[in-house]
Structure 1
Amino acid sequence: MSFISNRIVAFTVAAGLLGIFMTGSYFYQAVRKGAAIVPFVVMTVCFLLLISFAYFGIACPYLRWRHKVEQFLDGYLPFEEIDSQDIMLTPYTYLEEKKISEILNSTQVVNLNKRQAQYLALQNQINPHFLYNTLDGIRSEALIAGVESVAEMTEALAAFFRYTISKTENMVAVEEELDNCKTYFKIQQYRFGDRLRLHIECDEEDRESILRCRIPKLTLQPILENSIIHGTELKIGTGNLTIRLGLTQTRLLIKISDDGVGMDEQTLERLNEKLGKTVEQFDLQKNEKSGGIALVNVNNRIQLLFGKEYGMHIFSMEGVGTEVEITIPIIKNEREWKKRSV
């Protein structure tokens, strides 16, 4: 489209320059030969009118149409804001605009998408419902048999699945995320016992504000799981996992650290390089047999929601431990979130 518009502008400019040269030559010859000036004046006026019509009637409307369509394609302008009466060049262009508007505003398309979403939502409720009933059955049998540890583990597992599967909100309170981390950690403790310890630290003066902040669902648990699998599980002795939360003037800062085996400089560099890639770049390399997929998933979701200035960075030292730092904008309620999403 830009190639065509450049050709139109170039053609208009070239025609104008050629016309100026020709009229200048005619005027010079007329003066030398003593010919009448009136035909020259008439020809000049007609030529200027023709050039003005070509520029203001064809080139400018086309350029405005092209600019607005490009804005629409880039997502910066609703299609309804394109003024068809002002910038349409031909009846065909008008019909094209009308057809696109009909497609975009089609109630049939909206209703179809709505029905499909409702169907998928109902379908996705079937398996979780069966899962919860099964887990409740196992818990009941364990209580009858007097095996309280199995009953508690089953109850924790059911609570974890209810949060991860059934809770459909994209944004949740920090307090809910921390409760889910505690539930996940409780399940892991049945496997590791006292080898694992979880510490949650929060600035006391900002505690209430921090707990009310909203973050993407499943931001913390995948990182906590990664710290256990790749950090403290491989360590001899007790492993400590720490979640620290704090506020700046505009951001929520979350640090998840472990005192596990850490990683070497090359591995750390590759992992942070993955976190710096765009979603599209990572999709092209998703078949690579390398770790860090959970971390990249969380980072990509944060950046898709809030922008490239947010996300995570990893610090690690071999034999000392690893720390994942997350930055997220402060969002206290749904109104702020919806306003930011517009």
Structure 2
Amino acid sequence: MSSIQRKIWTLAAVVLFIMVAIWTTLTYYNQKTQTQYNDILQRYLRMNEVTNASQQTITALNNYLQSPSQANLDLLDRSKQQIRKARVEVLVLRNSDNDFALTNYMNLIDSLVETTDRSLMFQSEKETEDSAKAFSEATRISKYISDMTLTLLDTELKTYDRFYRGIIEQSSELNKLGVWMLLLITLLLLLFTYWFSLSITRPVLKLTQAAKELSRGRFDLQIEVASNDEISFLAKMFDRMRININNLISEIQQKAQLENELQQNKLLLQESQLRSLQSQINPHFLFNTLDTLSKKAYLEGSEETSDLLASVAGLLRYSLKRLDRSVTLYDEVKVLKQYMEIQKARFTDRLEFHANIDETCLYVQIPGLTLQPIVENAVIHAVEPEEDGGAIWFSIRDGDDRVTIEIEDDGPGMTELKIKQILEEHVVETEGHSTGIGFSNVVRRLRLFYGREDVIEIESGSGRGTKVILKIPKTRGNEKYDKAPDRG
């Protein structure tokens, strides 16, 4: 081999070596950039996973509290496992810039899990109010987690802004290296290297500009990179991340607005109920007046009128009790008898009332003003419209774990639609003549008081009377009613 050939082969080898070196450098640079970006993307996705897991936990907890079933409990357990897993994955994101914030972030996650467990504990113990408070606290913690996620993401964007600047500096150095290499080979290689460097720096510059806009909170600007390499893929992933973050922010804002509207509606409803109560007459004045008239009638020798006024006064006094407090079945039966004495004086022989009461059951607790509104409904619809009046049968029977109360009349009965509306609490009823407590109100209070749906049944049909069956549990939650009623 001649020296010329040797030189040519040496030059070819040198050029090949330089090209291999350039190719190796470029490959290493692209791989390093992609690896670093994937690491950053994983950081963002892990933080976003915490927010999604916390919101799924709140949703699963709400579903379980609304409908305590094994399926909803399993879903809640999976949500808690998911948020614990997300917490472990977020721990690897700790650095000197986010150490304090990430510690608070971990504490919020732990607080959410603890508050969720506390709500479940209260729910299992039938402490509905405490469970609801724990649920509200868990909701607030979830919102704090979402806000902290946005804060950490903003910190990450600012922290890795230096990384994007480093990419620009590396690209500049690569351009200089390419120019020196191109000077050692042909002009064509120089042009090719220059074009190749621009194909890298331009997309990177666009990505850097997009990152700066995102760090300023501009999530509405679309990221477009006109290339067909890994930078284009990075740009697409970056744009998808921007869309996800923007959607997450919009969703959080919508949920916050909806929660605020619900709170406002709740306040308006409470204010409306308060005004409705304020618009009623003062029943204490009426009670004192009736008591005075009863004594006066007794002194004048009208004992029957005195007894009637005393019954009205007793019924009025009983109606003054708060409906959210329980009474014994003995008290309910007592006021029911006073009510029937008033109605017998009104309807005389047109009203027949038959009672069969097992007095061993009268210690059981029941919401105040439960029996009288049901009997009053029978009087209004089964006795009053009929020319010959009607009959009402009332019975209390003991069972294994429940006391069965039946109220039956021989009136025109109810349609299936009417029964369904009452049991589903959709009926707006006309108020009664004495207490103003409607049938649906009684149904609602019974279910809330015992925390179950199967406490009341209605058997009826057109032309065959109506029977209302109350199945009252002897125990309510962990409470046991083992004291005899005070009959003094």
TM-score tier (shorter):
0.5 to 0.7
Using the TM superposition, give the Cα deviation of residue 161 of structure 1 relative to its aligned residue in structure 2, in angstroms.
0.5
Flag the 1:44–1:248 CA change in 2: closer, same or farther, 3 A: farther
Which of the numbers 367, 375, 380 marks the counterpart of 1:216? 367
Q: Which has the larger displacement, 211-220 or 246-255?
A: 246-255
Whole-angstrom distance in 2 between the partners of 1:332 and 1:301? 14
Q: Which residue is 2:288 aligned to?
A: 133
Q: Secondary structure at the match of 2:475?
A: coil
Using the TM superposition, give the Cα deviation of residue 34 of structure 1 relative to its aligned residue in structure 2, in angstroms.
7.1
Using the TM superposition, give the Cα deviation of residue 215 of structure 1 relative to its aligned residue in structure 2, in angstroms.
1.4
Q: Secondary structure at the match of 1:212?
A: coil
Identity of aligned residues (%): 26
CA contact (8 A) 2:326 2:366 kept: yes
Whole-angstrom distance in 2 between the partners of 1:149 and 1:333? 44
Using the TM superposition, give the Cα deviation of residue 166 of structure 1 relative to its aligned residue in structure 2, in angstroms.
3.9
Q: Which amino acid aligns with 2:443?
A: N
TM norm structure 2 = 0.45
CA contact (8 A) 2:423 2:440 kept: no
CA contact (8 A) 1:310 1:328 kept: no
Q: Which residue is 1:294 aligned to?
A: 438
Whole-angstrom distance in 2 between the partners of 1:227 and 1:336? 32
Using the TM superposition, give the Cα deviation of residue 91 of structure 1 relative to its aligned residue in structure 2, in angstroms.
5.0
Q: Which amino acid aligns with 2:141?
A: I
Using the TM superposition, give the Cα deviation of residue 54 of structure 1 relative to its aligned residue in structure 2, in angstroms.
1.4
The answer to whether structure 1 residue 51 and structure 2 residue 41 are counterparts is yes
Which of the numbers 69, 82, 106 marks the counterpart of 2:141? 82
Flag the 1:302–1:43 CA change in 2: closer, same or farther, 3 A: same
Q: Which residue is 2:391 aligned to?
A: 240
The answer to whether structure 1 residue 191 and structure 2 residue 346 are counterparts is yes
CA contact (8 A) 1:177 1:218 kept: yes
Whole-angstrom distance in 1 between the partners of 2:299 and 2:37? 100
Q: Secondary structure at the match of 1:272?
A: helix
Flag the 1:171–1:333 CA change in 2: closer, same or farther, 3 A: farther
Using the TM superposition, give the Cα deviation of residue 305 of structure 1 relative to its aligned residue in structure 2, in angstroms.
3.6
Deviations 1:250-296 (A, max 9, x none): 544321012x2333xxx42231121243x4x546xx79xxxxx8322
Q: Which residue is 1:21 aligned to?
A: none
Whole-angstrom distance in 1 between the partners of 2:464 and 2:62? 51
Q: Which has the larger displacement, 328-337 or 126-135?
A: 328-337
Q: Secondary structure at the match of 1:241?
A: strand
Q: Which residue is 1:66 aligned to?
A: 55
Q: Which amino acid aligns with 2:312?
A: L
CA contact (8 A) 1:68 1:77 kept: no
Flag the 1:63–1:323 CA change in 2: closer, same or farther, 3 A: same
Q: Which amino acid aligns with 2:44?
A: A
Using the TM superposition, give the Cα deviation of residue 213 of structure 1 relative to its aligned residue in structure 2, in angstroms.
1.4
Gaps of 5+ in 1: 1-30, 101-115, 288-292, 338-342
Q: Which residue is 2:103 aligned to?
A: none
Deviations 1:114-137 (A, max 9, x none): xx9xx99xx899933322221122
Q: Secondary structure at the match of 2:149?
A: coil
Which of the numbers 15, 34, 42 marks the counterpart of 2:32? 42
Instruction: Give the total of aligned pairs.
Output: 265
Flag the 1:169–1:56 CA change in 2: closer, same or farther, 3 A: closer
Q: Which residue is 2:457 aligned to?
A: 313
Whole-angstrom distance in 1 between the partners of 2:142 and 2:377? 53
Flag the 1:69–1:318 CA change in 2: closer, same or farther, 3 A: closer
CA contact (8 A) 2:321 2:368 kept: no
Higher relative contact order, chain-length normalized (CA < 8 Å, sep 6+): 1
Whole-angstrom distance in 1 between the partners of 2:280 and 2:423? 36
Flag the 1:143–1:221 CA change in 2: closer, same or farther, 3 A: same
Flag the 1:300–1:234 CA change in 2: closer, same or farther, 3 A: same
CA contact (8 A) 2:51 2:145 kept: no
Q: Which residue is 2:379 aligned to?
A: 228
Using the TM superposition, give the Cα deviation of residue 297 of structure 1 relative to its aligned residue in structure 2, in angstroms.
2.3
CA RMSD of aligned residues (A): 4.2
CA contact (8 A) 2:332 2:371 kept: yes
Q: Which residue is 1:180 aligned to?
A: 335
CA contact (8 A) 1:72 1:78 kept: no
CA contact (8 A) 1:157 1:187 kept: yes
Within 5 A, what are the aligned runs for 1:21-36?
A: 35=24
Whole-angstrom distance in 2 between the partners of 1:127 and 1:334? 37
Which of the numbers 313, 322, 325 marks the counterpart of 1:170? 325
TM norm structure 1 = 0.62
Deviations 1:29-88 (A, max 9, x none): xx9x9746644552343133122111113x123224534665689846141682788661
Using the TM superposition, give the Cα deviation of residue 227 of structure 1 relative to its aligned residue in structure 2, in angstroms.
1.3
